[in-house]
Amino acid sequence: MRSGKLRHRIDIESPSLVQDPATGEMLPGWTRTWENVPASFEPLSARDLIAAQAAQSAATARVVIRYRSGVVPTMRIIHRNEIYELKGPALPDPGSGLEYLTIMVGKGLNNG
């Protein structure tokens, strides 16, 4: 994948326990796993959305990043201050499987 296509920046967060500053109680929250990740962020076309809805998917965009291990469906992506949940596993490239990952995402209630 050419680096020029990765012109957007995203943050990837993982669910974790965070401490409430007022009470000290540990509460479910989110922690930044990777910041400023170069990515290609492409909203799905109308044709892609129709196909996704036919497959019972709520995906609204496709994100492509350079390969990194540890990207799992429980994570979420922040792009332009919007929260997107992962709609399934990150798919490796068909060649080596180690060049890039394609991630289908959707707007959701996964905001912690």
Q: What is the mean pLDDT of residues 70-85?
A: 95
From the list 81, 77, 59, 58, the residue with the least C-alpha distance to 68 is 77
SS3 54: helix
Q: Domains (ranges, CATH) in the chain?
A: 3-107 (2.40.10.270)
pTM for this entry: 0.82
Residue 62 pLDDT > 90 = yes
User: How many angstroms separate the CA atoms of 70 and 4, rounded?
Assistant: 24
Residue 101 pLDDT > 90 = yes
| Res 3: pLDDT | 60
> Taking a C-beta distance cutoff of 8 angstroms, is the pair 10, 33 a contact?
no
Q: What is the mean pLDDT of residues 26-36?
A: 96
Structural tokens at position 63? 């994100």
Residues facing 32 on adjacent strands:
13
Of 51 and 80, more confident: 80
SS3 73: coil
User: How many angstroms separate the CA atoms of 24 and 3, rounded?
Assistant: 43
